[in-house]
Structure 1
Amino acid sequence: MSAPEPESEKHSEAASDIAEQFLASVYLARTSLARNPLRSTLATLGIVIGVFAIATLGILGSVVQLTATDALGGLGDQVIVSPNADAGVDRLTDRDVALISRAVGDATVIPIVTGGALVQRGESQTFAALYAVERPGNLFSARTGELPERHRRGAIVGSDVASSLGVDVGRTVTIEGREYRVIAVLAESDGVNLLQPDGAVLIPRSAFADESFTQVIVRADSGGEAAAAADSVRDALNTRGERVTVLELSQIVDRIDQFFGLLNAFLVAIGAVSLVVAGVSILNVMLMSVSERRGEIGVLRAVGVQRIDVLRTILVEAGLLGVVGGVGGAAISGLVALGLYVVVPEVTLPVVANVRTAGYLVFAVAFGITVSLASGLYPAWRAANQRPVEALRVK
């Protein structure tokens, strides 16, 4: 009496049989599709276009969203406190700034005096915004020169103003009849900045006729801390009336992000419609293929081929169309994404090459294969359920 086969060997043989059956189905499916290459190519092209549409529209929406997020920079962790003109308050005092500082704790408080004037250098002149920021290093960085710890003397010139007047560190500029030596030139702003430093000049607070503040920027370590700081400022300054308006930039950033998210979903939905249309094309191809091979399928069924084998073969045909079309469409979409990086200067490599982009490519391919398989279900069921006698009957 021989010993029974171990369970592991049984499982191994079963897996081997399944693999052989699948490979046989792939061979038969490939042979069937090759019989009418033009029809198969057109069906595959429909999947290529649909997958390309989904992936490319999704990637484009993602690129726009991420580029906008990068441009907004760190605005999400800032709170803007301004005097409420409707309540008759047009300036913020040193006492207001002290109350804000106590209310926000460890967050950075940056009071600002603003104005505007003509800035001259010899025969050249340009209009510039004027700012007084005691600690300019909290908001800006220098291209040339060095930003002082506390701004008490001299002028700090924005990049556009420096270019217009042809000045650099050590030169002088004239503002409203007063001469200032340039101690630093600001680096170009590479994102959204509320103060627009490129076209501005920073001068000491004492140079302003009215030294009271026009706004206060509160910078926290995160959006959540910024929201908490905003609530604390309201509690500290608005207990007896709305003396100040408090703008939480994180809310604006979130709404912009939500808008782009909805836009992205809409674009992907448009691409999905084209892929569903391509699925109808595959359905037509499979139905015609089943009709033309009716006699062949009847012979297979008559010699003992099971329904599941016929069903699997037809589904593999549809799946092959989906795989080839999906991979082709995703490859073209990936090239388009790289083209964006090469052609559009504002689009950076991290924006294009990221997990979200890869996710759209994978989703588009998976959706294309799913649509193809779904389109092949009815033809496969119809072929598998044909009675051999009817299939062999000559019309």
Structure 2
Amino acid sequence: MTKSTSSGTDVKTGATSWLRGWRPAVTMAGRNLRRNRVRTVLAVLGVCIGVLAVAALGIFGNVLALGANDAIGDIGTQVVVSPNSDTGVESLSTTDVAEIRRAVDDPAVGDPAVVPLYSDNGIVAGASSQTFATIYGVEEPALAFEAAEGELPDRHRQGAIIGAGVATDLGIGTGDTVEIVGSQVRVVAVLAETQTFSPVAPDDAVFLPESAFAADGYAQALIISESGETAQAAADAIRREVNAREDRVDLFELAAIVDEINGFFDLLSTFLLGLGAISLVVAGVSILNVMLMSTVERRQEIGVMRAVGVTRRDVLRVLLAEAGLIGAAGAAAGTVLTVILVAALVAATPAVDASLVIDPTNGYYLLLALGFGVGVGIISGAYPAWKAANERPVEALRS
């Protein structure tokens, strides 16, 4: 028990001694830097510009990636199953749809919704205007879409469900009557406007009951999962089960597109960070030059310090503290300027969503640039400090 207490005391005493050794070194370093203000300011400015470049470019790249993810939305959770015309399959039969449902009816897949669709094109006319739209036949629209007006039925038996774009073009709403391919149909719901890409483009479509179509089979089936991972699992299950003997269906996995887009923005962010890092490397060379010139000009001063008993370690501490203070001052100034610059750009560019800029992930780039700036300062000052600390006092005094 006594040994444990003694060991803890030794550690605490050692840490206290280490801090006491650095306090006078930092004080002296600050005084030395103030002796040549112009040179110090220029070195700090170099680090500041480098940190600003790294942080700003990193944040801009991240904001672009976040904006793209926000625009893409949930398309990665959807899989489109279409008949494989290359093998002579022109439509999806009810048997094909049943096999698709069995394939994805697995807890590991997440039991996604399967929405088969008939498809056609035609003129949709309102009271005073008309437009060309895609016309779908769907039995369970609530599984795939949301209504802005009216209510989506669990089983679509009558009436028309109008996309937001079609409703705007025709100036119609719930309760109005539209003419679709010569037939008068009442609007039972208007879909909410989609904020992201969708393979069926519901904004410019009209959805009728399946009974309105005389086609022999479905044009496609939309698989809607809770996540991109479960969507990929559903696609794999469909390939194994439905395409076991022949490739009856083609699958379009939107998650693959999302992965490619995310990969592009990751590459873009890395490229932008690389550009910013070049500025910090230049700043590091500037600090190296400043510290070398400082040690040469103060060679006799360092020799006197060594002659009166100042240890190599103390000299090394002072010079490293000088380089560290330059890096820390430049990094802090660069971080503050980055925040101001980003805030000014957001204020001047209304199209940029402020929530993307204040996203917590952007803080990573501020911390990265701050740490990088301080590190560049210390690393750049390491060689001049070592060189000065290891010079023989007699030779320093002779110069």
Q: TM-score, normalised by structure 1?
A: 0.91
How far the C-alpha of 1:7 sits from its partner, in A, is 6.3
How far the C-alpha of 1:209 sits from its partner, in A, is 4.3
Structure 1 counterpart of 2:313, which letter? I
Q: Which residue of 2 aligns with 1:363?
A: 368
Q: TM-score, normalised by structure 2?
A: 0.90
Once residues 119 and 284 of structure 2 are traced to their aligned partners in structure 1, the CA distance between those partners, rounded to angstroms, is: 61
2:353 maps to which of 338, 347, 351: 347
Structure 2 counterpart of 1:70, which letter? D
Is contact 2:84-2:249 (8 Å) kept?
yes
Once residues 11 and 206 of structure 1 are traced to their aligned partners in structure 2, the CA distance between those partners, rounded to angstroms, is: 82
Q: Which residue of 2 aligns with 1:75?
A: 75
CA deviation map 1:32-83 (0-9, x unaligned): 1112222211111111111121122222222222222232222223221111
Distance verdict in 2 for CA 1:6–1:244, change over 3 Å: closer
Structure 2 counterpart of 1:366, which letter? G
Once residues 211 and 353 of structure 1 are traced to their aligned partners in structure 2, the CA distance between those partners, rounded to angstroms, is: 53
Is contact 2:75-2:196 (8 Å) kept?
no
Once residues 356 and 245 of structure 1 are traced to their aligned partners in structure 2, the CA distance between those partners, rounded to angstroms, is: 38
Distance verdict in 2 for CA 1:348–1:143, change over 3 Å: farther
CA deviation map 1:173-229 (0-9, x unaligned): 112221121111111111222222222222222223426211111123333332332
User: 1:1-395 maps to which residues of 2 (within 5 A)?
Assistant: 12-105=12-105, 106-210=111-215, 212-338=217-343, 343-345=349-351, 347=353, 349=355, 351-394=356-399
How far the C-alpha of 1:308 sits from its partner, in A, is 0.9
How far the C-alpha of 1:12 sits from its partner, in A, is 4.7
Aligned residues: 389
Is contact 1:161-1:199 (8 Å) kept?
yes
Is contact 1:282-1:318 (8 Å) kept?
yes
Secondary structure of the 2:79 match is strand
Distance verdict in 2 for CA 1:204–1:31, change over 3 Å: same
Is contact 1:113-1:211 (8 Å) kept?
no
Distance verdict in 2 for CA 1:211–1:175, change over 3 Å: farther
Once residues 124 and 145 of structure 1 are traced to their aligned partners in structure 2, the CA distance between those partners, rounded to angstroms, is: 22
Once residues 197 and 319 of structure 2 are traced to their aligned partners in structure 1, the CA distance between those partners, rounded to angstroms, is: 56
Structure 2 counterpart of 1:88, which letter? G
Once residues 91 and 65 of structure 1 are traced to their aligned partners in structure 2, the CA distance between those partners, rounded to angstroms, is: 38
Is contact 1:43-1:282 (8 Å) kept?
yes
Distance verdict in 2 for CA 1:201–1:341, change over 3 Å: farther
Unaligned runs of 5+ in 1: none
Distance verdict in 2 for CA 1:11–1:111, change over 3 Å: closer
Is contact 2:44-2:329 (8 Å) kept?
yes
Distance verdict in 2 for CA 1:348–1:147, change over 3 Å: farther
Once residues 137 and 334 of structure 1 are traced to their aligned partners in structure 2, the CA distance between those partners, rounded to angstroms, is: 44
Is contact 1:143-1:186 (8 Å) kept?
yes
Once residues 148 and 312 of structure 1 are traced to their aligned partners in structure 2, the CA distance between those partners, rounded to angstroms, is: 76
Is contact 1:205-1:211 (8 Å) kept?
no
Once residues 68 and 54 of structure 1 are traced to their aligned partners in structure 2, the CA distance between those partners, rounded to angstroms, is: 21
How far the C-alpha of 1:336 sits from its partner, in A, is 4.1
Once residues 149 and 80 of structure 1 are traced to their aligned partners in structure 2, the CA distance between those partners, rounded to angstroms, is: 22
Secondary structure of the 1:67 match is helix
Once residues 345 and 138 of structure 1 are traced to their aligned partners in structure 2, the CA distance between those partners, rounded to angstroms, is: 33
CA deviation map 1:308-351 (0-9, x unaligned): 111111111111111111122222323444456553546352x4
Once residues 337 and 68 of structure 1 are traced to their aligned partners in structure 2, the CA distance between those partners, rounded to angstroms, is: 19
Once residues 38 and 309 of structure 1 are traced to their aligned partners in structure 2, the CA distance between those partners, rounded to angstroms, is: 26
Is contact 1:63-1:347 (8 Å) kept?
no
Q: Which moved more, 1:351-360 or 1:85-94?
A: 351-360
Secondary structure of the 1:23 match is helix
Unaligned runs of 5+ in 2: 106-110
Distance verdict in 2 for CA 1:88–1:339, change over 3 Å: farther
Is contact 2:103-2:242 (8 Å) kept?
no
Secondary structure of the 1:362 match is helix
Secondary structure of the 2:361 match is helix
Q: Give the share of equivalent positions with the same residue, in percent.
A: 48
Q: CA RMSD in A?
A: 2.2
Once residues 10 and 71 of structure 2 are traced to their aligned partners in structure 1, the CA distance between those partners, rounded to angstroms, is: 61
Structure 1 counterpart of 2:258, which letter? V
Once residues 330 and 235 of structure 1 are traced to their aligned partners in structure 2, the CA distance between those partners, rounded to angstroms, is: 53
